[in-house]
Amino acid sequence: MRNLNRRFMFILTVAMLCVFMAACGSDSTSDVEAKTFDAEEIEEIFVTTDGQNIEMRPSDNEKVKVSEKAGKEVPITLEGNVLTVDLEGSSSLINFKTDTLYVEVPRKIFKEINLNTTSGKISGKEITAEELIVTADSGQIDINGFEGKKIAGEIVAGDMNLKKIEGNFNLTNDTGDIDISYKGALEEDSTITTHSGKVVMKFESKPNSLKVEASTGSGKIKNSLFSSEELKVEGGKSILNGILGSGGATLSVQSASGTIYID
């Protein structure tokens, strides 16, 4: 009888665990609770999460929509023209699947969009803002399409991928690759700084005017914009100082150890 009871308790425990895991991993649209706001009332958006991913995507209407799984209270405040979403410290003790906070925005030039996560992925598509700020301790940052004046990006450990962006930028990471696809002409000074990781800076069309100051401690610099005479090795460092046209804005790329590609 004792062995039978133990077997029954074991089966019951396994069954409950399976139900719990299925509930945690559900992707049903019925499990999503959304809150909407009129975009014309909002000029700045601040989003902070702990272990959750952040995904910003275009809206099909004139509303700003914020959603996550139902049953989880999403702290959202709208004060003046500033929308704040703060999920910091709200991660579950047991989380079999990383949650994602979805933020849908219409095509409007916001004054500032600020996305910050402790350990999650930040992704965005077709973002328009005067200033975009993306920060993470660990994870990954993926932005596909940005129209605006400035991007500030920082990640301690992880890759940063920025595609089809414009405006000036200041990007830093400690460990991980930085990959940029830039459209248009660089009009203001911009910087890329990494300790250990590959840097790829690709212009969709060759700039008419540009000044580049690049260096890497234990890596190579490969480029298609400047002649080999402008590339030197000094004190064990690879250094590139190049000027196109009248010079214009300066692109500074610094890496302690990693290959730099400029095309």
String of b and e for 129-148 (b: at least 16 CB within 10 Å)?
bbbbbbbbebbbbbbbbbbb
Say whether pLDDT at 132 is over 80.
yes
Say whether pLDDT at 158 is over 60.
yes
Mind listing the pLDDT tens digit for each residue in 66-76? 998 755 678 89
pLDDT of residue 139: 93
- Spatial separation of the C-alpha atoms in residues 136 and 185, rounded to whole Å: 28
Mind listing the pLDDT tens digit for each residue in 39-48? 999 999 999 9
pTM of the predicted model as reported, rounded to 2 decimal places = 0.84
pLDDT of residue 70: 53
Say whether pLDDT at 239 is over 60.
yes
Phi, psi dihedrals of residue 4, rounded to the nearest 5°: -65, -40
Average pLDDT over residues 115-134: 96
pLDDT of residue 33: 66
CA dihedral (164, 166, 172, 178) in degrees, to 10, reads: 20
Please name the helix (run of DSSP H) or strand (run of DSSP E) that holds residue 19, with its range, or none. helix 2-24
pLDDT of residue 90: 58
pLDDT confidence of 236, banded at 50, 70, 90?
A: confident
- Spatial separation of the C-alpha atoms in residues 68 and 32, rounded to whole Å: 5
pLDDT of residue 93: 40
Lowest-confidence pick of 127-136, 191-200, 223-232: 223-232
CB distance 217 to 257 below 8 Å = yes
Q: How far apart are the first and last CA of the chain?
A: 75
